[in-house]
Amino acid sequence: MLIKNSEALLSHGNVAGRRVVLDIIEAGLAAADPYANTLKALRRNGDILTVGPSISPNGPGPQVCDLRRIGHIYVVGGGKAVQRQAKAFEDVLGDRITAGHICIKKGEHVELKRIGVTLAGHPLPDRDSVEGASRIYEILGRAREGDLVFWIRSGGGTALLALPAEGLTLDDLLEVYRVLYFGAGASMPEANSVRNLISSLNMKHQKYVRGATLIEFLADEIPTGSRGHASMAAPGALDPYQRAIGVLNKYQVWDKIPQSVRDFMTRANPKHLPPSQSELAQRPYFLYRVIDPHVMLGAACARARELGVGGRILSTSLNDVEAKPAGEVLGEIADEVETFRRPFAPPCALICGGETVVAVGAETGVGGRNQEFVLAASARIAGSNSIVVGSVDSDGTDGPTKIAGGIVDGETTSRVKAAGFELADELRHHNTSPVLEALGDTVVTGNTGTNLRDLRVVYIAA
């Protein structure tokens, strides 16, 4: 079982409803395993290796490689899901892997035997992130014509592969992370438009592979077919430097980031940009998406229906909005279903993916977006005998905590008060972990080895 503390979570509150929610979350997380999904796109029969297809309908078709005609094989990359991907490569290719290295999050147990591993910092990069990225950079530089390079990536790679661009330092990168993402609450794509630009490796890896065939395996956080985050739409046509400066100005942090970063942005040196799509089209380069949130959300929905509950995916990408109002809105929708049997008749499970945000600012509370989401929802379902809300980060760590998320029901608000907390105050200070821990309502999974954003389940019994 991925949820380690199910027994404790089922020891109080609306036990029947909690059981349904935890069962649905468990099914969704289990289906999100990158190992099994990578194996679907990596098959070997003797010396013949078949790569693909992509889960994206517009992705490249299968590639058939005769390993007798391949020189060296390298496997490199980074992200919170890449170790499970890399394990599939080790099991399929074995000693045909010449060399490899990946960066994964600290705290994860190392499973690999042939591919090197650096345990790096996340959500803030650290010196290990820089060291591991440097090792990968060196391996990419070895590849030549006739070789095969597999780049495996997933969410989290921005921090785990942090290699400061020319003229910048790790401290520069750290300050940008703190000010823009944690302080101002910028959305992930907006933050990444800045963070990836000031890093030398992540999203620029293609430029370092000269002559070799590069095949990328992506465990994608963005659902196939989605327009992505709304925050990407308006400035998307700008060049990368203009877009990054626009994001920093939007959140009024241009004057708060290091002068070295501002100088880097204003110089706008094109040599620090990733290859263009037209440049990539002229190279032996193939991108395969092997898993995305549809897999997780679809499995959760299917499990709800197996339990006799009407599973409904409300949104694959509930993104960029603050966690607190998002939880309040979903709580109100649940109340509408319970009270008026609309827009769906109970029993039903409303399922959402995506990433909300928490703009911490100067607050020093401890928590994460999923914990804040459920506690905010609890105020709107207080007294209900039918509604249970659970929400987890699919990677197992919600924000800077070691908690995956939380679960609440109609009894939560009264239990919060009995425990000596004022819910509104704790939400205002983004101090959600201590509240949920006191109630015994934190969901604990440990590192799951995947990263498909969040899984939220709002269950309304008949």
- % of the chain at pLDDT higher than 90: 89
pLDDT score at 420 = 98
Q: Where are the alpha helices (DSSP H) in 341-428?
A: 369-378, 412-418, 423-428
pLDDT score at 50 = 98
- % of the chain at pLDDT higher than 70: 98
CATH label of the domain that carries residue 438: 3.40.1480.10
234 & 320 share domain = no
70 & 94 share domain = yes
pLDDT classification of 277: cutoffs 50, 70, 90: confident
Non-local CB neighbours of 418 within 8 Å, separated by 6+ positions: none
pLDDT score at 292 = 96
241 & 194 share domain = yes
Q: Where are the alpha helices (DSSP H) in 284-349?
A: 293-306, 323-340
335 & 456 share domain = yes
Mean pLDDT of all residues belonging to the chain: 95
pLDDT tens digits, residue range 383-421?
999 999 999 999 999 988 999 999 999 999 999 999 999
Does a structural domain hold residue 89? yes
- Residue numbers of the domain that contains 239: 56-291
Does a structural domain hold residue 449? yes
CA 108, CA 140: separation in Å to the nearest integer?
24
Does a structural domain hold residue 80? yes
Does a structural domain hold residue 387? yes
Q: Are 288 and 38 in contact (CB under 8 A)?
A: no
Range of lowest pLDDT (83-92, 180-189, 204-213): 180-189
What is the enclosing helix (H) or strand (E) of 142? helix 127-142
CATH label of the domain that carries residue 158: 3.40.50.10180
Q: Which amino acid is at 312?
A: R
Whether 268 has a pLDDT exceeding 70, the answer reads yes
Does a structural domain hold residue 44? no
3-class SS at 332?
Answer: helix
Last residue of a domain, one of 231, 257, 291: 291
171 & 285 share domain = yes
How many other C-beta atoms lie within 10 A of the C-beta of residue 116? 18
93 & 242 share domain = yes
Is 202 or 232 the better-scoring residue by pLDDT?
202
pLDDT classification of 233: cutoffs 50, 70, 90: very low
Q: Where are the alpha helices (DSSP H) in 11-116?
A: 15-31, 34-39, 82-93
Whether 449 has a pLDDT exceeding 80, the answer reads yes
pLDDT score at 235 = 46
Cα 35 to chain centroid, rounded: 16
pLDDT classification of 234: cutoffs 50, 70, 90: very low
Q: Are 106 and 122 in contact (CB under 8 A)?
A: yes
Tokens of 354: 């995506």
In this prediction, residues 451-457 reach a mean pLDDT of: 97
pLDDT score at 421 = 98
Does a structural domain hold residue 45? no
pLDDT score at 229 = 54
pLDDT classification of 226: cutoffs 50, 70, 90: confident
373 & 256 share domain = no
DSSP annotation of 94 reads G
340 & 248 share domain = no
Does a structural domain hold residue 252? yes
452 & 329 share domain = yes
How many other C-beta atoms lie within 10 A of the C-beta of residue 107? 12
Whether 102 has a pLDDT exceeding 60, the answer reads yes
3-class SS at 291?
Answer: strand
CA 435, CA 99: separation in Å to the nearest integer?
47
221 & 266 share domain = yes
What is the enclosing helix (H) or strand (E) of 379? none
Range of lowest pLDDT (40-49, 61-70, 179-188, 196-205): 179-188
305 & 285 share domain = no
Last residue of a domain, one of 237, 258, 291: 291
- CA distances 63 to 49, 75, 285, Å, are 8, 17, 11
In this prediction, residues 149-165 reach a mean pLDDT of: 96
209 & 173 share domain = yes
User: Nearest-CA neighbor of 312 among 346, 350, 353?
Assistant: 350
The domain tally of the chain equals 2
Does a structural domain hold residue 14? yes
Q: Where are the beta strands (DSSP E) in 122-182?
A: 148-154
pLDDT score at 181 = 86
pLDDT classification of 228: cutoffs 50, 70, 90: low
DSSP annotation of 397 reads -
Last residue of a domain, one of 243, 271, 291: 291
Non-local CB neighbours of 53 within 8 Å, separated by 6+ positions: 41, 59, 60, 61, 62, 288
Tokens of 22: 């935890």
